[in-house]
A and B are shown apart, each in its own frame.
Chain A
Amino acid sequence: EVQLVESGGGLVQPGGSLRLSCAASGFTFSSYWMSWVRQAPGKGLEWVANIKKDGSEKYYVDSVKGRFTISRDNAKNSLYLQVISLRAEDTAVYYCARDFTVASYDYWGQGTLVTVSS
């Protein structure tokens, strides 16, 4: 059974940082592109970043470029999102998702909530 389990969210002050993690199981992690998608409270979905199977290519939405870094450790079946210089508008549930075909995601984690507030 495919499982994606996020962790690392929490309350952080503006300007602060966090490292989100996603533990994958039930599939060959190194065979898939992976993505982070976020959802602000009561709002819609927003693609944040994705990373190629071997980590050699990474892409970001413009609003997080230079502040967020996606990475993976295929030996640990884990996906990460390092977030710095956090802003109130980064407050959201952050989902880890497995890329299925171009711009589609067939498995999602339960999400981890990041709240940016003083």
Chain B
Amino acid sequence: QSALTQPPSASGSPGQSVAISCTGTSSDVGGYNYVSWYQQHPGKAPKLMIYEVSKRPSGVPDRFSGSKSGNTASLTVSGLQAEDEADYYCSSYAGSNVFGTGTKVTVL
């Protein structure tokens, strides 16, 4: 199972929005509504931000939103804050679970 494709980096100024794409195939992202997104700060464990494409776990700010179109899922972070600077990973069900390549988000 190949990793899902994410851009290596993305950036935005405080208050702006940034969108991260996650591209797979019809066998993973496109085939199931089981895409999730994780935030990982350096040296820390990942944190679940979005599950089942667009649902937010309790405690996750509504600045974080998820969507999917065809074989590509997206995570949008609105109103960027300094603490949003982190690595972000998507994942999808594909018979088993496959993660994305990761995107480093920089707050300028």
Same complex = yes
Within 8 Å of chain A (Cβ to Cβ): is B21? no
B51 touches A45 (CB 8 A): no
* 1/0 contact string of B92-103 vs chain A (CB within 8 Å): 111011111110
Contacts of B64 in A (CB 8 A): none
If A59-B96, A62-B1, A110-B45 touch, whether A103 touches B36 (CB-CB below 8 Å) is yes
Within 8 Å of chain A (Cβ to Cβ): is B65? no
Kindly state the separation between the CA atoms of A21 and B97 in the bound complex, as whole angstroms. 21
Nearest chain B residue, comparing its CB with the CB of A109: B45
The smallest C-beta distance from B34 to any residue of chain A, in angstroms, reads 5
Interface residues on A, range: 20 to 34
The smallest C-beta distance from B41 to any residue of chain A, in angstroms, reads 12
Contacts of B47 in A (CB 8 A): 108
If A102-B34, A103-B36 touch, whether A44 touches B96 (CB-CB below 8 Å) is no
The smallest C-beta distance from A110 to any residue of chain B, in angstroms, reads 6
B48 touches A61 (CB 8 A): no
Interface residues on B, range: 20 to 34
* 1/0 contact string of A30-42 vs chain B (CB within 8 Å): 0000010100000
Within 8 Å of chain B (Cβ to Cβ): is A27? no
Within 8 Å of chain A (Cβ to Cβ): is B7? no
Kindly state the separation between the CA atoms of A62 and B94 in the bound complex, as whole angstroms. 13
Q: Which of B1, B48, B102 contacts A44 (CB 8 A)?
A: B102
B99 touches A100 (CB 8 A): no
Within 8 Å of chain B (Cβ to Cβ): is A101? yes
The smallest C-beta distance from A41 to any residue of chain B, in angstroms, reads 12
Q: Which B residues are within 8 Å of any A CB, using their own CB? A: 1, 3, 32, 34, 36, 38, 40, 45-48, 51-52, 57, 89, 91-94, 96-102
Would you mind naming 17 contact pairs between A and B with Cβ atoms under 8 Å apart?
A37-B99, A44-B99, A45-B102, A47-B98, A59-B96, A61-B1, A62-B1, A100-B48, A100-B57, A101-B36, A101-B52, A103-B36, A103-B94, A104-B34, A104-B36, A108-B46, A108-B47
Q: Which A residues are within 8 Å of any B CB, using their own CB? A: 35, 37, 44-47, 50, 59, 61-62, 95, 100-106, 108-111
